[in-house]
Amino acid sequence: MIDENHNPWTTLSSEKIYENPWITLREDQVLNPKGGKGIYGVVSMKNKAIGIIPIDDEGYTYLIGQYRYALNEYSWEIPMGGGLNEHDILESAKRELQEETGFTAAKWTNIARLHTSNSVTDEEGFVFLAQELTQGETAFEETEELQIKRVTLDEAVRMAMNNEITDAISVAGILKAALLLRNEF
């Protein structure tokens, strides 16, 4: 039986390669679990990834469309953004929902904690279900040119299953929200 709390890796040295306001990239010299020497590159995030599944009184949700620079393609996603590691994740979720959709929500449920690409980054993500919505004004950031689409949750699930939504946090959040709202878990 493997001890899940035992780290079989040994870090021999660690060097910061690059840093900006959002990430730090480091390269570690390591001994792998079998004792072989190697390197490991790790991207450490300075923010928590936060996604929101807003559900209105008619059961519809809202997707955000935007061009993603790193992917060099357009992406449909749930409303999402980052919250500084030291900030409250729920407060960050409330801010992101309002900025990207204009909504505020009276009911919030944290439905997921996840790691986005745990072989290269320590990024931790959270997904919230936001209900009892009130419409207000959006507050897009300078880097955002967003499109908002109202769809049924079933349509969002179909989009995730057909690879029309490929963002990992969005796919996980949509599928988990659909199962939870159908009382399947």
**pLDDT tens, 65-81?**
999 999 999 999 999 99
- How large is the average pLDDT for residues 41-46? 96
Percent composition of the chain: helix, strand, coil (DSSP 3-state, to 5): 20, 50, 35
3-state SS string over 27-86?
A: EEEEECCCCCEEEEEEEEECEEEEEEEEECCCCEEEEEEEEECCCCEEEEECCEEEEECC
- How large is the average pLDDT for residues 114-139? 95
Cα–Cα–Cα angle for 179, 183, 185, nearest 5°?
65
Helix (H, G, I), strand (E, B) or coil at 5: coil
Confidence tier at 147 by pLDDT (50, 70, 90): very high
Residues 66 and 147: beta-carbon distance below 8 Å: yes
Confidence tier at 144 by pLDDT (50, 70, 90): confident
Confidence tier at 161 by pLDDT (50, 70, 90): very high
| CA–CA distance, 147 with 126 (Å, rounded to integer) | 22
pTM of the model: 0.91
| CA–CA distance, 6 with 31 (Å, rounded to integer) | 15
DSSP structure class, residue 161: H
Residues 105 and 67: beta-carbon distance below 8 Å: no
| Cα distances (Å, whole numbers) of residue 159 to 8, 30, 61, 101, 167 | 39, 41, 13, 20, 11
pLDDT attached to residue 85: 86
153: alpha, beta or left, given left = phi > 0 and alpha = psi -120 to 50?
alpha
pLDDT attached to residue 86: 86
Element (H, E) at 171: helix 168-181
- How large is the average pLDDT for residues 117-144? 92
Structure tokens at 182: 């159908």
- How large is the average pLDDT for residues 135-144? 86
Rounded to the nearest integer, the mean pLDDT of the chain is 95
Structure tokens at 84: 């500084």
